[in-house]
Amino acid sequence: TPLTVCSGLVNFVDREELLGRRVVLLTNLKPSKMRGIKSEAMILASENDDASKVEVFHPPVSSAIGELLHFKPFVPEGKSTRLKSKIWEEIQTKLLTDNEGKVIFKDGEQEYRLSGANPDDFAFVDNLRNTIVR
């Protein structure tokens, strides 16, 4: 099902770069209005420390469009529920890119990579390393 997605990427990513491109979307957040348009998902991106560079994540190469991604070894059971804002804010503080540009959830010393059905294929960015995820 097509989703309407608005983002704050206009100053960082050219529109043409996003047209027709596969991206990683967070769809279990509460829809929000941006400039009067209801946005039903959020594009997952990485940004450097001073927020001068932002890069949109590629889904795992082997993943299908619409495939549910998860942090290995956490496998979702059934339909995902909407995250409350406070829970999302807490999760977001633990989302980073590693030194290979893969998105990770870092909980203490443990790191979990974002993958789909193929557990050895991960979401990634082309250039940014060891950065925060937004």
Q: What's the pTM?
A: 0.90
Q: Which two tokens stand for residue 126?
A: 């082309």
Length of the chain: 134
Per-residue tens of pLDDT for the chain, all 134 residues: 789 999 989 899 998 999 999 999 999 888 999 889 999 999 999 999 998 999 999 999 999 999 999 998 887 777 778 888 899 999 999 999 999 999 999 999 999 999 999 999 999 999 999 999 98
Query: Which residue pairs from 40-44 have beta carbons closer than 8 angstroms and sit at least 24 positions apart in sequence?
Result: 40/3, 40/4, 40/5, 41/3, 41/5, 42/5, 42/7, 43/5, 43/7, 43/9, 43/18, 44/103, 44/123, 44/133, 44/134
